[in-house]
């Protein structure tokens, strides 16, 4: 499916906590993968993350002072980068750690204020403001309220197959590529 002239695209998913971003992304990854798109994910978190456990060699080596640790296995590899001091993650730096030449589309969850094309996930029941009113990078709003008033097209949050179809069309249309360093 991936024409050779396509470079890796970047599409963000923005919304407040509890709006359903991760649930939607989980559905979209499966649907887009079945369409032969090679998907990468960057998920922003405010929490400290630990994918390893005490007692394991990789955990002990990393905690001994290794700045980067690549745990390479037959089915998956895990790369851990240690920040010298706690700091908010940078989207471009996060992108630089992916093998973008092996991906068609990177879906970004979080990084709400990043100047990238994105879909807003909005549930009026969460009682949060619409981001698209102030963010010109939002292409559409995925919502569970069909008569929501918004300055961009509405997508049915409960129909991930239709959203996946729109993403595929957007990707094929020669969307904006990933920003260069």
User: What's the pLDDT tens digit per position in 127-173?
Assistant: 999 999 999 999 999 999 999 999 999 999 999 999 999 999 999 88
Give the mean pLDDT of 15-19. Answer: 93
Half-sphere exposure of 94 (CA within 13 A, CB side): 19
The model carries a pTM of 0.84
Burial grade of 54 (CB within 10 A; 0-12, 13-18, 19 or more) = exposed
Q: Can you give the pLDDT at residue 103? A: 95
Q: Which residues pair with 39 in a beta bridge?
A: 105
User: What's the pLDDT tens digit per position in 37-50?
Assistant: 999 999 887 656 66
Q: Can you give the pLDDT at residue 48? A: 63
Handedness of CA 119, 124, 126, 128 (dihedral sign): positive
């Amino acid at each position: 499916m991936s024409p050779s002239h396509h470079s890796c695209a970047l599409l963000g998913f923005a919304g407040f906590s509890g709006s359903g971003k991760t649930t939607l992304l989980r559905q979209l990854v499966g649907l887009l993968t079945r369409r032969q798109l090679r998907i990468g994910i960057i998920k922003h978190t405010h929490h400290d993350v630990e994918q390893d456990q005490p007692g394991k060699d990789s955990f002990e080596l990393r905690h001994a002072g290794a700045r980067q640790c690549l745990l390479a296995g037959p089915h998956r590899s895990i790369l851990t980068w240690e920040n010298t001091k706690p700091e908010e993650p940078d989207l471009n730096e996060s992108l630089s750690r992916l093998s973008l030449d092996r991906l068609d589309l990177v879906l970004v969850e979080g990084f709400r204020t990043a100047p990238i094309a994105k879909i807003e996930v909005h549930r009026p029941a969460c009682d949060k403001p619409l981001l698209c009113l102030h963010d010109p990078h939002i292409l559409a709003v995925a919502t569970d309220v069909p008569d929501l008033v918004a300055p961009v097209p509405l997508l049915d949050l409960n129909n991930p197959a239709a959203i996946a179809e729109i993403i595929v069309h957007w990707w094929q249309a020669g969307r904006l590529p990933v920003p260069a360093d």
